[in-house]
Amino acid sequence: MTITAAADGSALGNPGPAGWAWYIDDDRWAAGGWAHGTNNMGELMAVLDLFRATAHLPEEELHILCDSQYVINSVTKWMPGWKKKGWKKSDGKPVLNLELFKDIDAAIKGRKYRFEWVKGHAGHELNEAADDRARAAATAYQAGREPDTGPGLDGVPGAADRAANHEVPAPDGHDSMIFEDQEAPVPVEPVQADPAAQLAADVQMVFELETELLSPAVRGDLDEVMAFLHPEFQEISRDGSLTDRSTIISAFNAAEPLPTGGALQVLAATPWGLDKVQLAYRLLAGDQAVLCSSFWQRVEGRWLLRYRQETPTA
């Protein structure tokens, strides 16, 4: 038997009041959160609590629906390497949200599980249900009240009891906004969405991806940066130089930090057909304003950055 559940997180302010939730159906779900946390913490805690809530069913496979590339890549790709390096990333810096990752690493031992990426805010029934409950938990903490922690699973202590036994670390200063991104094609039956609404969701997705890629949490880790880039990625940087994937790898090997972003002011967002979106925006980085244009392409269900150009303003 397979248990299929969606896991999601939410943060109001990021960091700010934060919530998490997993959802199987209306009779089996759980939620929780903190008065101060991040979106990434919520995403990770939702997965962790799902493993803990189903620990009495070790023979059942967990099919986890997740709209966070950060979570999927971290648990399935990067975590084994982090452990070998003493829970350090490829640049030698400590892993963000370390305690949550250690707890997930312990919780998944001996378990059968698989992750499936689903597009967030696109009408997927289970994902929407988890998102609603995570956001409700964050909103409850914002209002100074305890959230509805849900029924959980029969015979299993409630989410509040499990969370009470979990010491949550303070949010990492560079935790990034997760909107999130794409890991694999979605094999479930697609939801028939209004074309205009789908285009709007695609544009929003690309904006969130662009914001995520410019964050310090992503720019400081080569594996995370590579997960966003198309194989034929090219960029004209603000100094006029041409950058591609090999240039970025060389910069990391030479311990040269990639410049991080700032506030984005979108000037135009143009969908080109069903699988391409172009963004034009002003990037406010300190005292400098940079005009940027980026071109994202969806490849096998994943949005990847194909081209980007920066032009400094006077």
Q: Is 148 a catalytic residue?
A: no
Tokens read off for 191: 């939801």
Q: Is 26 a catalytic residue?
A: no
User: What are the DSSP calls for 248-281, one per residue?
Assistant: HHHHHHTT-PPPP--EEEEEEEEE-SSSEEEEEE
Q: Is 121 a catalytic residue?
A: yes
Q: Are 127 and 118 in contact (CB under 8 A)?
A: yes
| Nearest-angstrom CA–CA distance, 10 and 185 | 24
Q: Is 99 a catalytic residue?
A: no
Tokens read off for 6: 């969606």
Edge-to-edge strand list for the sheet holding 302-312: 242-244, 229-236, 302-312, 288-299, 276-285, 263-271
Q: Which of 49, 67, 172, 210 is catalytic?
A: 67
Q: Which of 49, 128, 131, 202 is catalytic?
A: 131
Q: Is 210 a catalytic residue?
A: no
E strand map for 118-157 = none
Q: Which of 121, 166, 174, 230 is catalytic?
A: 121
Edge-to-edge strand list for the sheet holding 28-37: 28-37, 16-25, 2-11, 61-66, 113-117
Q: Which of 19, 37, 43, 128 is catalytic?
A: 43
Q: Which of 9, 16, 150, 220 is catalytic?
A: 9
CA dihedral of 38, 39, 43, 44, whole degrees rounded to 10: -30
Q: Is 202 a catalytic residue?
A: no
- Comparing CA positions, the residue from 10, 18, 123, 25 lying closest to residue 68 is 10
Active site residues: 8-9, 43, 67, 121, 131
